[in-house]
Structure 1
Amino acid sequence: MHRLPNRPLALDCLRTFEAAARRLSFSAAAEELHLTQPAISRQIKGLEEALGAQLFHRGTRRIELTLAGQTLQRTVQPALARLDSCVRQIRLSHSRAMVSVTTFPSFASLWLMPRLPDFERAHPDADLRIAASDRLVETEDVELDVALRHCSADKVPAGAVRLFGEVLTPVVSAGLADAIDRGHAPRLAQPADLTEHTLLEMDDGHSPSTLLSWPRWLAGCGLAHLTPRRWISVNYTHQQVQAALAGQGVALARLAMVHDALARGDLVEPFGAGGRRWAEPCYWLVPLVPPGGRTGAAAQRPEVRAFSDWVLAQAALTRAAIGDVADPETDAHAD
């Protein structure tokens, strides 16, 4: 193969190589890039000639990366991802104002989304993109502006501001509470009565969930060995709340997520405020700054600052509703 050491490589060829290397198939790469398979083969061959090295072992039914191909893939894949991310960020910055927020699904469903109409009325020219995922994203992701997280203080990133704490409380639907009052369902006057009820448990496999579990709450009541009529386990907090609203059992709810439903009368605390227990994790607002950016208000676009201020104002209302007297102004997490 002949190579030209000073000749830059065409970006199209590198995109073709990245797709073929990732899929280990010229056909799959052709489908992904909306090209023909012969076009993919020609581009790969041209790239190999430009490099003076074979990138793929070509078999009858499959292809494999050579050592040179593996070396190139390790550089090309993240470089293209960064380039695409940068392009998207530039496009966003020259279009309508947009705030990109990452949070976990239950917080988005139960706390953030019901409040968004208030923000939209105050800021009609700002678009929002909500990325709800259980995966903790990197704080250097240039496509994201704000993270709303749930964790203990020792795990929160620098610069985070505490929104409110975690209070757990048993809740049932208004319908089930009425059935209990009428004697159509087993009594539920004290925690020991839970032995006659179905307990709705959130079990997502993450260690923080053990701090928010029924066994821990029951142990705090001196009922570590209590066995309910049955268990129903779900993966997400919002599923647990939905099951409670449907009258399927007693949920150990996060008060900050359900206090609106309690105020409306959709949910009822059978043990009142006496059933509430504080837990270690808290909710946090984390400003996300692109690599090389400066932290603080000066680094944020006006719409991001407006959204962050709005979240903090809404969090103050939640703190008042759940009896959280902590001061977030003195509870920012620094290096």
Structure 2
Amino acid sequence: MHNRISLKAVQAFEAAARLSSFALAAEELFVTPSAVSHQIKLLEEQFRVQLFHRVHRAVVLTDAGRRYAEEVSAAFAKIELATRELGRTAKSDILTVHSTPSFATQWLMPRLARFSSQHPDIDVRLNASYPPPADLLNQGVDIDIRYGTRRLQPAGTMVLSFPPETIVPLCAPALATGAHPILSPEDLGQHTLIHSEVCLVSWRDWMRQHRKVRLDISRGLRFDRSFMAISAAVDGLGVCLESLLLVQRELETGRLVAPFGLSGPKVQGYTLNLLKSRAELPKIRSFQEWLFDELEERRGVA
């Protein structure tokens, strides 16, 4: 092309303009001063514009040279910054995971250290919102963890179901053994019900399985996020109906108990969603395998 320029010539010009000296530019670039002068002369002849005034042994930018130097210096600064950033990130992959807030808070975040220890070259960026689901095609998300009824996915999406999760009543130990002990389902009538409005099993569903129990399900605390319902139960505000998958830490530490045991209705709530075209990327494959290994390993608690 007619206006294609030599990067060597631009580099020589930038150094000479910054240092106000062909000799110093030559020293920085490990060439001779005459080589610097030659490269700059090529630029001047190609564009028919004088870039420097030669005053005895000194060089001074012309007005055109000063304007060009400002743009070239800015461009070189961007290249230098991009190179430094590349040096910082070249040794790692960034995996962007989008998740529902409750799964991110209750299950995923406490385990990310284990994933990082097994895969030190993968850095996880975790985003949490609900709804809507993440756009795998346009939002730069590698993996989307969703909850609830499956929707029609765009072509090319792979949907992997989590193992079934169990839903049971849960409360703080002090509530279960307090002034009104919870020994049978009928005892729930003396306690505040906590409604987790996104849970696939509601108190109404639970009552259908316990037909002799009559609870006033029109009353109680209501939350549109499971982690808030769980937190309220931990604080002793009432009895929640939630997934054992999300309360493993609370059960292990004794902050929650399941007064009627760990058996209950099972639901297929969570799915892992990713693009088929990216499924074999090492960072995605590693996270997928780690996630399902963790889920299977801890199903005994749930």
* TM-score scaled by length of structure 2: 0.64
| Equivalent residue in structure 1 for 2:291, among 305, 311, 319 | 311
User: Shift of the alpha carbon at 1:296?
Assistant: 3.6
Alignment partners' CA distance in 2, 1:260 and 1:124 = 25
- Give yes or no for the alignment of 1:97 onto 2:123: no
User: Structure 1: any 5+ residue segments left out of the alignment?
Assistant: 1-90, 323-335
2:259 aligned counterpart, secondary structure: coil
Letter in 1 for 2:160: V
Instruction: Output the CA distance in 2 between the equivalents of 1:320 and 1:271.
Output: 17
Structure 2 counterpart SS, 1:160: strand
SS in 2 for 1:167: strand
Cα distance in 1 for partners of 2:234, 2:114 equals 25
* Preserved CA contact (<8 Å) 2:102 2:227: yes
Q: Cα gap change, 1:142/1:200 in structure 2, threshold over 3 Å: closer, same or farther?
A: closer
Deviation of the 1:256 alpha carbon: 0.8
TM-score by length of 1: 0.58
Partner of 1:116: 112
Partner of 1:218: 207
CA 155–260 in structure 1, closer or farther in 2 if over 3 Å, else same: farther
Distance 1:154 1:167, change over 3 A: farther
Aligned 1:11-90 pairs, distance under 5 A: none
Partner of 1:131 in structure 2? 127
| Residue number among 221, 224, 242 corresponding to 1:232 in the alignment | 221
SS in 2 for 1:265: coil
Return closer, same or farther for 1:156/1:247 CA change in 2, 3 Å cut-off: farther
Larger Rg over CA atoms: 2
In 2, Cα distance between the equivalents of 1:260 and 1:104? Answer: 18
CA RMSD of aligned residues (A): 2.8
Deviations 1:14-51 (A, max 9, x none): xxxxxxxxxxxxxxxxxxxxxxxxxxxxxxxxxxxxxx
> 1:119·1:310 contact (CA, 8 Å) conserved in 2?
yes
Counterpart AA for 1:190: S
Map of 1:190 onto structure 2: 184
Do the aligned partners of residues 260 and 245 (structure 1) sit closer, same or farther apart at CA in structure 2, a change above 3 Å counting?
same
For the residue of structure 2 that corresponds to 1:200, the secondary structure is strand
Q: Percent identity?
A: 29
C-alpha distance in 2 between matches for 1:226 and 1:156:
38
Distance 1:190 1:156 in 2: 43
Deviation string 1:49-106 (CA, Å, 9 cap, x unpaired) is xxxxxxxxxxxxxxxxxxxxxxxxxxxxxxxxxxxxxxxxxx8986741000011000
Q: Distance in 1 between matches of 2:138 and 2:128?
A: 15
* Equivalent position SS for 1:164: coil
SS of 2:161's equivalent? Answer: strand
Match of 2:143 in 1: 146
Structure 2 CA distance for aligned equivalents of residues 251 and 304 of structure 1: 34
CA gap of 1:151–1:229, structure 2 versus 1, over 3 A, is closer
Q: CA deviation at 1:321?
A: 3.1
What is the CA-CA distance between 1:295 and the residue it aligns to?
5.0
Distance 1:262 1:271 in 2: 13
User: Which structure 2 residue ranges, 5 or more long, are not aligned?
Assistant: 1-85
Partner of 1:257: 246
